[in-house]
Amino acid sequence: MNRTLNVHVRKDTWPAKGKLPAFPATFHKGLANYDLNIPAMLLFLGYLTTPTSSTGVSLSEFWAWVRYFAAVTSDSDMRLTRNFADLDAHQKTILSDDFGMGVPMLWLSERLSLDRVCDGRYFMQRFAADVDATANRTAKRGPNKTPDFVGRDTNGVWHVVECKGTQSGHDYSRNQLGDPWPLATGGVAQKRSIVFPRGHVGQRLVCGLSIGVQQGKFPSLLTVIDPEPEEPFKIAARQMEAADDAVTRGVMSKALRLAGFETTAEATASPLGRFPYSVRQQSKRSEEIRREGVEERDFRAREELDLAAGEATVFAGDGGYRGRERVFELPRPIQIDDGPVRRVIVRQGVSARVLSYLRARPTIEEPLSQADADWTEAVGRNVVKGDERSASMTIGSLFRSELFLD
């Protein structure tokens, strides 16, 4: 289920030759076509939009697979059906935002060899708690909004990404991307938040997706730019341990949550309390309350993992993963290139070996690098693949996910 997508990479927005960040060798200059696999994009979108540190039922875990398969037309290029294009403004915004994240992040993950990707807001909150600082840039909207995603690649280089999506045409998409002069606007302003020290500096990207509509004049277009940041939040070299800790916890938490281990996910993402930014308290009574809450949650996480140890593996023929399978009956059959789809089957699991490490110690309050957390070695490159009726996603040997159209 591939659809052609136009991708425009504006090399002129990168710094001059010899300055960082360098234009990636894996990026093309100008306009080129990209074969976008829709099941793979939606599978990755489900991962990206899964909350890192909250508990309870989240539609983000299932939303993309159930809702959006019917949104894409049978055209050779990626377009939305007229029914979805005519949704009310609020629902159109949700779809545009979701596609505006899923499409560029899939394209980037293939070209930047990302092995850790987490929400920018979670990253800043957890990082601030680790370095005993106040994260001023954690707004959800406006010019002080943190970037959508922070990612690290297999070479240990860090990337910051802000994503935009719209169904209002290419001109509107260009406005969303923003302009650095004279006053930064749009994505240019919002992705200023984080700059890593020299030797760790990767791409600082703003990606804008203009989504084409069935029988519309303009095709879908993904634009990628790298405007110069101003007034960034700067991370010092001595703080990189905290940065690694935050992004690794974010990845692990998402994987655990998708596989059904909600309490363990919360313990991983927010080790010192209810929130990523929780810290040890100065008053004796407040610290006792915090400590009791962490210990109670730790007990529940062990119970959760003990139950999983006795359950069947989630992937037939591969006993290395524990998790869950979900079958979604679609409200009506969806016609794709080789016939109708009546249901979607999703299987997601975390390495059984990693789960055994977590059973021994679900909550690690100190930095992971100081705790000798064996499970961190399982975190590796994000690989997302897809064909006509299926898609798969792996994160090193930590996490495996599969989607089938039946």
Give the predicted TM-score (pTM) of the model.
Answer: 0.89
d(Cα 125, Cα 135) in Å, to the nearest integer? 6
Indicate whether 55 belongs to any domain. yes
Indicate whether 58 belongs to any domain. yes
Amino acid at 230: E
Phi, psi of 4 (to 5 degrees): -75, 135
Local structure of residue 232 (DSSP, 8 states): P
Q: What CA dihedral angle connects 376, 377, 382 and 383, to 10 degrees? A: -140
Confidence of residue 191 (pLDDT cuts 50, 70, 90): very low
Compute the mean pLDDT over every residue in the chain, rounded to the nearest whole number. Answer: 85
d(Cα 383, Cα 400) in Å, to the nearest integer? 10
Q: Which of 111, 214, 105 is nearest to 157 (CA)?
A: 111
Amino acid at 97: D
**Could you give the number of structural domains in the chain?**
1
Indicate whether 102 belongs to any domain. yes
d(Cα 243, Cα 88) in Å, to the nearest integer? 40
Confidence of residue 398 (pLDDT cuts 50, 70, 90): very high
> Mind listing the pLDDT tens digit for each residue in 256-271?
999 999 999 999 999 9
What's the rounded mean pLDDT across residues 103-129?
92
Is the distance from CB of 161 to CB of 191 less than 8 angstroms? yes
Beta carbons within 10 angstroms of residue 331's beta carbon: 8
Confidence of residue 177 (pLDDT cuts 50, 70, 90): low
Q: What is the pLDDT of residue 376?
A: 93
Indicate whether 387 belongs to any domain. no
Residue with tokens 């406006």: 142
The domain of 17 spans 2-242
Is the torsion defined by CA of 311, 63, 153, 149 positive or negative? negative
Beta carbons within 10 angstroms of residue 40's beta carbon: 23
Confidence of residue 158 (pLDDT cuts 50, 70, 90): very high
| Token couple for 168 | 């209002």
CA gyration radius, the chain: 21
> Mind listing the pLDDT tens digit for each residue in 65-100?
667 888 888 899 999 988 887 877 777 788 888 899
Indicate whether 319 belongs to any domain. no
- Provide the terminal-to-terminal Cα distance of the chain, rounded to the nearest Å: 13
- C-alpha distances in Å from residue 230, one per residue of 123, 126, 137, 180, 183: 20, 23, 13, 9, 10
d(Cα 375, Cα 357) in Å, to the nearest integer? 7
Confidence of residue 64 (pLDDT cuts 50, 70, 90): low
Confidence of residue 190 (pLDDT cuts 50, 70, 90): very low
Highest mean pLDDT among 160-169, 186-195, 394-403: 394-403
Is the distance from CB of 85 to CB of 213 less than 8 angstroms? yes
| Token couple for 113 | 């060899």
Indicate whether 309 belongs to any domain. no
d(Cα 130, Cα 119) in Å, to the nearest integer? 16
Q: What is the pLDDT of residue 62?
A: 62
Long-range pairs for 183-191: beta carbons < 8 A, 24 or more residues apart: 184/143, 184/227, 184/230, 187/162, 187/163, 187/227, 188/227, 189/143, 190/142, 190/143, 190/145, 190/146, 190/147, 190/162, 191/147, 191/160, 191/161, 191/162, 191/227, 191/229
Indicate whether 279 belongs to any domain. no
Indicate whether 303 belongs to any domain. no
Residue with tokens 């029914």: 83
| Token couple for 269 | 């993402």
> Is 180's pLDDT higher than 70?
no
DSSP states along 143-178: TTBPPSEEEEETTS-EEEEEEEEESS-HHHHHHHH-
The maximal CA–CA distance of the chain, rounded, in angstroms, is 66
Q: What is the pLDDT of residue 131?
A: 79
